[in-house]
Amino acid sequence: MADEIKKAPAAVKVTIDNITVEVPAGTTILNAARQIGGDVTPPAMCYYSKLEGSGGKCRTCLVEVAAGSAADPRPMPKLVASCRTTVMDGMVVKNITSDRVQDARAGVVEFLLLNHPLDCPVCDQAGECHLQDLGYEHGKEGTRYEFNRRTFEKEDIGPTIQLHMNRCILCYRCTYVADQLTDNRVHGVLDRGDHAQISTYISKAIDNNFSGNMIDVCPVGALTDKTFRFKNRVWFTKPVDAHRDCPDCCGKVTLWQRGDEVLRVTARKDEWGEVKSYDGKPGWICNTCRFEKKKASDWTIEGPTVINRHSVISQGHYLNKQQPKETIQEVMGGLKPRLLMDIHEVSEVNKLELSELPGAATSQQYKTNSNESSNKTV
């Protein structure tokens, strides 16, 4: 066994959906597929390449192995989790070309959505939610589930992170973050079966300088940033890459701005939605950078974040954007279209400094604000 480890990792050839790629031995099917990219890559809800031990649980990345290897070309009888199965030389994998896989994946997506509250309209994760993407690609409209959805009691886990257990898909990523990035895990998965839940058991504040990374790894809206709560839809914000000299972390972040306001700070993500690596190390960020540096002047701005053009977030992203040709003024003989009403006359939405609010933006703040302004006019 020791001899095997000493051997330099040889390159092996694997064919995924009729595309052959050469990868180092020991690579998983999922990571080999990511090297090919595009539609061939299975979706992954629980696997996270930067978190040791993650993966294998959600079953969305199941693929069919049509031939185990060149040496033993027998097919594998069951579908396998591509995130936890390593490739063999000459392996043939079917993902989107397999009806079995598509059928099983549709089943998994149905299971994941079975008890999900589908509260996207009030969920801060909407627009960057992996479950939304998954449902859009593999889900069916409507549900065959005719029972009450499972709910959990609300638990306050501290001033910066909001836990919505009802939305959780139990990917376990956040527990790996707590184990691998912080020195004292205080939350975990309690109970079992369909009542298993993320909890601290004692409503304890999760208090650690790297705990905020749990938000970045959460694939759904189960863990969200309390300082960004209800302040804006993510697709109305403008992401820019920025950095600062931070004594605790890499200091490389994405600022989610509206105008000059910094509404939210996150780590930078790669095309798979994972935190980017720098010099081979994952670019996790500390809570100081994430929750306390909310002024543009705290940061050196590098430029717009590159966002996949298919993402709804790219709506607020202006790089190389081509505006469709406007013809309406021509049609109207040079007249500008008259708006039914100007939103700014009836809403205080843009008059609040959202980034300066200590907590969630609620109707309360707007009321106070408008009362103050009306007082002023009197």
Partner 1 sequence: MGRKLLLEKAHVENIRSYDVYRKEGGYRSVEKALKTLSPDQVTEEVKKSGLRGRGGAGFPTGMKWSFLAKPEGVPRYLVVNADESEPGTFKDRYLMEFIPHLLIEGMIVSSYALGSNNSYIYIRGEYAWITHILEQAIEEARQNGWLGKNILGTGFDCDIFVQRGAGAYICGEETALLESLEGKRGNPRIKPPFPAVKGLWGCPTVVNNVETIAALVPIINEGGEEYAKIGIGKSTGTKLISACGNINKPGVYEIDMTISVEEFIYSDEYCGGIPKGRKLKACIPGGSSVPILPANLLLKTAKGETRMMTYESLADGGFATGSMMGSGGFIVMDDSQCVVRHTYTLARFYRHESCGQCSPCREGTGWMEKILWNIETGKGKMSDIDLLWDIQRKIEGNTICPLGDAAAWPVAAAIRHFRDEFEWHVTNPQEAQQRNYGLAHYADALAVPVA
Partner 2 sequence: MNSQFSEAQLQEVKRLTSRYPEGRQKSALIPVLHLAQNTFGGWLSKEVMDYVAGLLSIKPIEVYEVASFYTMFNLQPVGKHLLEVCQTGPCMLNGSESIIDYIYEKLGIRPGETTADGLFTLKTVECLGACGYAPMLQLGEHYREHLTKEKIDALIESCKSNRANA
Which residues bind to partner 2, rule: CB under 8 A?
184-192, 200-202
Which residue in 36, 66, 186, 189 binds partner 1 (CB under 8 A)? 189
Which residue in 15, 19, 67, 84 binds partner 1 (CB under 8 A)? 84
Which residue in 8, 121, 184, 192 binds partner 1 (CB under 8 A)? 192
- In the complex with partner 1, the residue whose CB is nearer, 165 or 249, is 165
CB of 189 to partner 1, least distance (A): 7
Give dist(CA 263, CA 220) in Å, integer: 19
CB of 326 to partner 1, least distance (A): 47
- In the complex with partner 2, the residue whose CB is nearer, 40 or 177, is 177
Of residues 85-114, those binding partner 1 (CB under 8 A): 103-104, 107-108, 110-112, 114
Site mask for partner 1 (CB under 8 A), range 221-250, x = bound? ------------------------------
Size of the site for partner 1 (CB under 8 A): 34
- In the complex with partner 2, the residue whose CB is nearer, 192 or 338, is 192
- In the complex with partner 2, the residue whose CB is nearer, 192 or 309, is 192
- Does position 186 interact with partner 1 (CB under 8 A)? The reply is no
Of residues 135-164, those binding partner 1 (CB under 8 A): 144-145, 147
Do strands 91-94 and 11-16 pair parallel, antiparallel, or not at all (unpaired)? parallel
Determine the angle formed by the axes of helices 130-138 and 99-114, rounding to 10 degrees: 130
- In the complex with partner 2, the residue whose CB is nearer, 110 or 179, is 179
Question: Per CB under 8 A, which region of 90-98, 184-192, 245-253, 333-341 contacts partner 1?
Answer: 184-192
- In the complex with partner 2, the residue whose CB is nearer, 117 or 188, is 188
CB of 208 to partner 2, least distance (A): 13
111 token code pair: 């299971």
- Does position 196 interact with partner 1 (CB under 8 A)? The reply is yes
Which residue in 13, 57, 233, 269 binds partner 1 (CB under 8 A)? 57
What residue 144 binds from partner 2, partner 1, none (CB within 5 to 8 A, per partner kind)? Answer: partner 1
- In the complex with partner 2, the residue whose CB is nearer, 214 or 285, is 214
Number of H helices, E strands in the chain: 10, 15
Task: Compute how many other C-beta atoms are within 10 angstroms of the C-beta atom of residue 156.
Answer: 13
Q: Where are the alpha helices (DSSP H) in the chain?
A: 2-6, 29-36, 99-114, 130-138, 173-181, 213-217, 287, 328-331, 343-346, 363-377
Catalogue the E-assigned strands of the chain: 11-16, 19-24, 62-67, 80-81, 91-94, 161-163, 188-190, 197-199, 223-225, 238-243, 252-258, 261-267, 277-278, 281-282, 300-304
365 token code pair: 């703040």
- In the complex with partner 1, the residue whose CB is nearer, 112 or 123, is 112
In sequence order, which residues have a C-beta less than 8 Å from that of residue 325 and are 6 or more positions away?
A: none
- Does position 63 interact with partner 1 (CB under 8 A)? The reply is no
Check: CB of residue 200 under 8 Å from CB of residue 157: yes
DSSP secondary structure of 296-307 = GGGSEEEEEPP-
313: left (phi over 0), alpha (psi -120 to 50) or beta: alpha
Which residue in 195, 281, 309, 338 binds partner 1 (CB under 8 A)? 195
What residue 325 binds from partner 2, partner 1, none (CB within 5 to 8 A, per partner kind)? Answer: none
Find the angle CA(7)-CA(10)-CA(11) to the nearest 5 degrees: 170
SS3 312: helix
Q: How many residues does the chain have?
A: 378
CB of 329 to partner 1, least distance (A): 52
Task: Compute how many other C-beta atoms are within 10 angstroms of the C-beta atom of residue 226.
Answer: 20
Interface positions with partner 1 (CB under 8 A) = 1-2, 55-60, 62, 78-79, 81, 84, 103-104, 107-108, 110-112, 114-115, 144-145, 147, 169-170, 189, 191-196
